[in-house]
Amino acid sequence: MADQSTSITPHHLTTSTHCNQLIRSTMFRIASTINRAARPTVSQLAHQATSSLPRNFSTTTPNNMKVLAVLYEGGKHAVEESRLLGTVQNELGLRKWLEDQGHEYIVTSDKEGANSELDKHIVDAEIVISTPFHPAYITRERIEKAKNLKACITAGVGSDHVDLTAANEKGLLVAEVTGSNVVSVAEHVVMTILNLVRNFVPAHEQVMAGNWNVAEIARGAFDLENKVVGTVAIGRIGERVLRRLKAFDCKELLYFDYQALDPQKEKEIGCRRINDLKEMLSQCDVVTINAPLSESTKGMFNKELISHMKKGAFLVNTARGAICNENDIADALASGQLSGYGGDVWYPQPAPKDHPWRKMRNPLGGGNAMTPHYSGTTLDAQIRYAQGTKDIIERYIKGEEQNPPDVIVEKGDYATKAYGQREKKKQ
């Protein structure tokens, strides 16, 4: 079948042949009348030449695109720290670069409701940029009313906030900055595991409150050494988590994934694949979720699946909040089926003030290691994903092929298996 997807036409700054000739002839006349001792620069000549053109003439294309970015608010922190590139205030560092090419750049944090800035500007935007930390939910409804939309770019990793089916139907490019924050997230996972296993949060809260009760904390604190740790999915982040955990002399490192690691990698890491998820969960003292959000993983960790986990296990989720059923997680923690739950991902984001994960506790009064979604937006990660976003846009403008690992969907088809797609659509 022929590809019926919408073609992606880049915008270049162009001039007509006639106007190019006019510029050159005007520059020649100016240059010929100038005293050699006071010869102007080339840029001065160009300015004088273009200033003599008709007022309604533009050296840029009349179809310059609108780029819409939905980022999180940085407030005074972004003013004081310019490396907070992923904020509304610092705009991924893209404004001058885009505007110098004649493109319009709209940056906002307002993304909720029919009257939001997102809904106002997506109507004629050609590119929409969002982040996993303050996601603009690009629904089918929004895609259908976005008549000029050609590309959705994630400044970071994880494009589940885009309706990928609708994006495919419209032939959109959906791309993300693959690998930009995998180290940042992997480190956060290890930190969260240690926080939970060592009962760190209640210990810190205790001393901040002016109290001192070692027994109260120690009764819920363990060593990570000699424990079984498993990851659900072993992509770029899951693999890095296990590599870092190797140093803790865990009893065993396990993974569940539809695709096995290379045997040499398994040997290097010292990990073992389990083909059945429930079997792996039953063996683990600690489980970390590192899978993308897809139709197959949405709501995966519910009451039934959690019942197969070892009683008193710890669960860490830095993947996506919607992979876990929020009420079932809170109930499992309250009952002691889980000793702890931690991570930084919620659904929706920002999380409402009454979200059950904000205040849930285990029977001992601890077990909650939740944070805002910041694991992948360290200052180091922001530099990487800001540059990566620019690279994706630049390739788009020039009509060049995107870096294959960055592409999620393109030309009406999936380019990755990460979101549940197992086979390429037959042509």
Q: Pick out the residues of the known binding site.
A: 157, 181, 236-237, 257, 318, 344, 373-376
Distance CA 186, CA 378 (A): 12
User: What residue type is assigned to position 290 of the chain?
Assistant: N
SS3 424: coil
Q: Is 215 exposed, middle or buried (0-12, 13-18, 19+ CB in 10 A)?
A: exposed
User: What residue type is assigned to position 48 of the chain?
Assistant: Q
Beta bridge partners of residue 252, listed in sequence order: 228
**Run of H or E including 408:** strand 407-410
SS3 183: helix
Which residues lie below 8 Å from residue 289, measured CB to CB, with a gap of 6+? 231, 232, 233, 301, 315, 316, 317, 318, 319, 323, 324, 343
262, two tokens: 């290379």
Distance CA 154, CA 71 (A): 11
Catalytic residue, candidates 103, 320, 337, 368? 320
Catalytic residue, candidates 89, 168, 317, 349? 349
Catalytic residue, candidates 199, 373, 382, 384? 373
Catalytic residue, candidates 89, 90, 168, 181? 181
Binding residues for NAD(+), by number, are 236-237, 257, 318, 344, 373-376
Q: Is 373 a catalytic residue?
A: yes
Distance CA 388, CA 369 (A): 30
CA atoms within 13 A on the CB side of 256: 20
SS3 36: helix
CB 246 within 8 A of CB 270: yes
Q: Is 422 a catalytic residue?
A: no
Catalytic residues: 181, 320, 349, 373
